[in-house]
Amino acid sequence: MKPDIKGLQNFIDEDAIWKTVQDTAGTDAARIHDILEKAREAKGLTLDETACLLHVEDPQLNEAIFETARTVKQTIYGNRLVLFAPLYITNECGNRCTYCGFKATNTELERRTLCAEEIQREVTVLEDQGHKRLLLVYGEHPKFGADWIAETVQTVYQTISQRSGEIRRVNINCAPLDVEGFKKLHDVGIGTYQCFQETYHTDTYAMLHPSGHKQNFLWRLHAMHRAMEAGIDDVGMGTLLGLYDYRFDTLALLAHAAELEKHFGVGPHTISFPRLEPALNADITFNPPFPITDAQFKRLVAVLRLSVPYTGLILSTREGQTMRRELLDLGVSQLSAGSRTYPGAYADPNYNRPEVQQFCVGDNRSLDDVIQEIIHQGYIPSWCTACYRLGRTGEHFMGLAKAGFIQQYCLPNAMLTFKEYLEDYASDTTRAIGMPLLQHEMETLPDTRRNIVTARLCRLEQGERDLYF
């Protein structure tokens, strides 16, 4: 199928974005403090205000940004943190993205597409670790259309582990489809449709995507519009950091989000900010043209939290343990853990094969190890899927989120799913440190809520599962 791009416009005004980047350089401290004052109200920031913050180098002002991000994060999300794992379904790909190990020209890469039995095997391993939310990842190949992707989603939902669990929310990261294709994904109950624009700078985009469907910038740029038109309320956006100037791409991404809000009344459900990681036969990944330093990266995450306070911020295992620990406080609300980045990796007894993976993972710890650290940081790990299953998605979700709902429902739901984890999957060490945290969290709930949650925790102890508000 050749994508039809007749009539599609590039709504990203590159000149205007560059002008904003340039005009906001060197903003004085008083203005930065004014912007942070506004950010504390958690109503979001304009592109101009966001750009001012992205420029900040002064250590004191930088700390002020971090402190504001911590406050806003705590106010909106409390101390819950949603966990998921990626599941690679195929690494066959017809594109030639210069930065990706799966590119068609990488002849050294072993190609593999999981059949239904193999998907079931992978899902069972993940379920037995305690995962309830997966992100399915696909290369883009003419062999695989929307029907096939939809079948793989159904296979995942239908895989129930003998030992315990089931996957309750399947999110998707695949190449853009047409509206009809997206409807098929909607019909099989996907959660979020995720697709990264990589860079919004058209000349750079053309250089990095020399052939294949992904060459088509406008088709990708309008993917979220088509997904939403097809009824998928929750969409996830991102740029691949290191390909182009991060300030330009961040402002362009926020302009993209604003465009969706204008058309559909709601922006993206999540934003991801992957940094380029080394990949086999992808020279650019060893020497990124626009590297982003750790300091710039941390500021970027904190500024996103202030700019779009109600949008989930997703952190992957591309980052190492130390950076991940620091970013949790600065605004991240969703975290992958125990990730493996090639098809069949979870059930692979010879795991750790760089010659088949998409890129190198920075945090190789198991889910249980990551959870121990999260608990030590005072966060409640959550596998909650209530909103999506109760139809609280898109505009409906954002409306509730803005009314303080997340604290009222998300935290109790986080506690219920955390309790399930502690009952069914946790190591002895994790259980020993997790139970007191749960107890402590219970005490923060208002009396009426605490009584209801206590009753449900008892039902979980007696063997019931999947309880939520």
Interface ranges with ligand SAM (CB under 6 A): 99-100, 102, 137-140, 173-175, 195-196, 198, 240, 274, 276-277, 279, 282, 285, 318, 358-359
Retrieve residue 126's tokens. 């993940």
- Burial (CB < 10 A; 0-12, 13-18, 19+), residue 259, is middle
Q: How far apart are CA 146 and CA 185, in angstroms?
A: 7
Which of 93, 170, 257, 301 binds ligand SF4 (CB under 6 A)? It is 93
| Alpha-carbon span 143 to 31, nearest angstrom | 54
x/- mask, ligand SF4, residues 53-92, rule CB under 6 A, reads: ----------------------------------------
The sign of the dihedral angle between the CA atoms of 407, 408, 411, 414 is: negative
The residue from 66, 88, 102, 144 that contacts ligand SF4 (CB under 6 A) is 102
Hey, what amino acid is at 377?
A: Q
Which of 44, 78, 130, 139 contacts ligand SF4 by CB under 6 A? 139
The answer to whether 75 touches 260, Cβ cutoff 8 Å, is no
- The answer to the question of residue 103 lying near ligand SF4 (CB under 6 A) is yes
Could you say which of ligand SF4, ligand SAM, none residue 328 binds, taking C-beta under 5 to 8 angstroms by partner kind?
A: none
Residue labelled with tokens 């998907």 = 119
% helix, strand, coil for the chain, step of 5: 50, 10, 40
Q: What is the DSSP string of 339-373?
A: ---STT-TT-TT---TTTSSS--S----HHHHHHH
Contact (CB, 8 A) for 311 and 270 = yes
Q: Confirm or reject binding of residue 140 to ligand SF4 (CB under 6 A).
A: yes
Q: How far is the CB of 205 from ligand SF4 (least distance, A)?
A: 12
Residue number, 27 or 173, with CB nearest to ligand SAM: 173
State the binding partner of 305 from ligand SAM, ligand SF4, none, CB within 5 to 8 A by kind: none
For residues 193 and 310, which CB has a smaller minimum distance to ligand SF4 in the complex?
Answer: 193
Stretch that binds ligand SF4, among 98-106, 126-134, 145-153, 311-319 (CB under 6 A): 98-106
In terms of CB distance, is 36 or 172 closer to ligand SAM?
172
Q: Does residue 176 bind ligand SF4 (CB under 6 A)?
A: no
Radius of gyration of the chain (CA): 21
Closest CA to 179 of 221, 146, 150, 212: 146
Closest distance of CB 103 from ligand SF4, Å: 4
Contacted by 103, from ligand SF4, ligand SAM, none: CB < 5 to 8 Å by type: ligand SF4
Binding mask 213-252 for ligand SF4 (x = CB under 6 A): -x--------------------------------------
Rounded distance between C-alpha atoms, residue 206 and residue 79, angstroms: 41
Which stretch in 100-108, 118-126, 299-307, 461-469 sits in contact with ligand SF4 by CB under 6 A? Answer: 100-108
Task: Provide, rounded to whole angstroms, the least separation between the CB of residue 266 and ligand SAM.
Answer: 22
We find the least distance from the C-beta atom of residue 223 to ligand SF4, in angstroms, to be 13
Q: Report, in Å, the least distance between residue 229 CB and ligand SF4.
A: 23
Q: Quote the CA–CA distance of 89 and 138 in Å, as a whole number.
A: 6
Q: State in angstroms the smallest separation of the CB of 105 from ligand SAM.
A: 14
Specify the length of the chain in residues.
Answer: 469
CB-count exposure of residue 419 (10 Å: 0-12, 13-18, 19+):
buried
H helix or E strand, kind and range, residue 87: strand 80-90
Smallest separation, CB 236 to ligand SF4 (Å): 15
**Strand blocks (E) in 174-252:** 193-194, 235-238
Footprint on this chain of ligand SF4 (rule: CB under 6 A): 93, 95, 97, 100, 102-103, 139-140, 214
